[in-house]
Amino acid sequence: MPSFSRSLEGSLHRALALANEREHEYATLDHLLLSLAEDPDAATAMRAASVDLDTLRQNLSTYIDHDLENLVRHESDDAKPTAGFQRVIQRAVIKVQSSGREQVSGADLFDSIYAERESHAAQFLRAQDISVAERPAVAPTDFALAPPPADWPQWRRDELKANSRNPKVGTALVPKTDRVRVWLLTLAPGARLPFHRHVLDYFWTVTAPGKAVSHYGDGRVAEITYALGDTRHLTFGPGESMIHDLENTGATELSFVTVEFLDSANQPLPIE
C-alpha cells in the first residue's frame, strides 16, 4: 500500500484543523482543497494547470466561512471527513498503486479532487476556466510491457502483446460525444473481455452483479465480487495507463456501464 508524503500528511491534518477551527462537524473537499493550496506538491501541480492560487484561496475561504455555517456543530467532537473527502483519498491511493509508485503526494489529491466533478471544490477550479486535463494531453506511445508470469498460457501472452493499444471496453452504448465515450459490457458466465488498455479517466457502475477474475499487464491477478450499483472512478496522469482483461467466473450474467472522459490527461487511443 502506498504511503503518504510528509507534506501530504501535514495537509490532511491542516484540512481537519480548518474545519475544527470553525467548529464544523465535517471536513469537506473545500477544506481539503484550501489546505492543498499550501501543499508544495499540490501547489506546483495547480500552477502547472494555470490555477491562480490567491484567487482560489480567497474564494474557498469566503465559501467556507459564509456558506458552510450549517456545518457548525453543537458538540465538542472533532470534525469528521465527508464521504467525498475519503473518496478522493481512496481514488488517489488506487491511482498511485496501479501506476507502481510508492508514495501519494498532494498533487495526486489535487487531480483526484478535480475528478469529483459535481463538488463545489472542483467547481471552484473550473470557475477559473482551467482543467487538470488542460495540461497538454499526452499522445499514445508504445507501451512497455513487463514480462508476463511464466505460468501464463501462450495464448494469454500473445493476446496481451497484440492488444497493447486496444481501448475497447465493451460495446459503444451511445455515439461518442466531444466529452465522453460510453460503453456497455455484458459477460455471460465463462465469457471474458480481452486485454484492453485504459488511458482515459473513467468510472464504471455494475448493472448486473457477479464475480470475475482480472489479469493485469504487470502480472497481478485479482478475484473480484461485484455488487449491484458498485461504482469506481479511476484517473490517469500523463503517460499513465492500465491494461487488463476480465473473465466472468460467476454463475450469472455480469454487466457494467463504463464512461470515459475525453478531456483527460492522455489523448484517447484510436478505436479500430
Question: 139-148 long-range contacts, Cβ below 8 Å, gap at least 24?
Answer: 139/266, 139/267, 140/165, 140/199, 140/266, 140/267, 140/268, 140/269, 140/270, 141/239, 143/197, 143/241, 143/243, 145/217, 145/243, 146/217, 146/218, 146/219, 148/217, 148/219
Give the pLDDT score at 264.
82
Provide, rounded to the nearest whole percent, the portion of the chain with pLDDT above 70: 91
Give the pLDDT score at 132.
52
Give residue-wise pLDDT tens across range 144-203: 667 788 889 999 999 999 998 999 999 998 776 778 899 999 999 999 999 999 999 899
Give residue-wise pLDDT tens across range 112-150: 888 787 889 988 988 887 655 444 444 555 566 677 888
Say whether pTM exceeds 0.75: no
Give residue-wise pLDDT tens across range 201-259: 899 999 999 999 999 988 889 999 999 999 888 877 767 788 999 999 999 999 999 99
Domains of the chain in sequence order: 3-134 (1.10.1780.10), 154-261 (2.60.120.10)
**Quick count: other Cβ atoms within 10 Å of Cβ 223?**
9
Mean pLDDT of all residues in 24-44: 93
Counting every residue, how long is the chain?
272
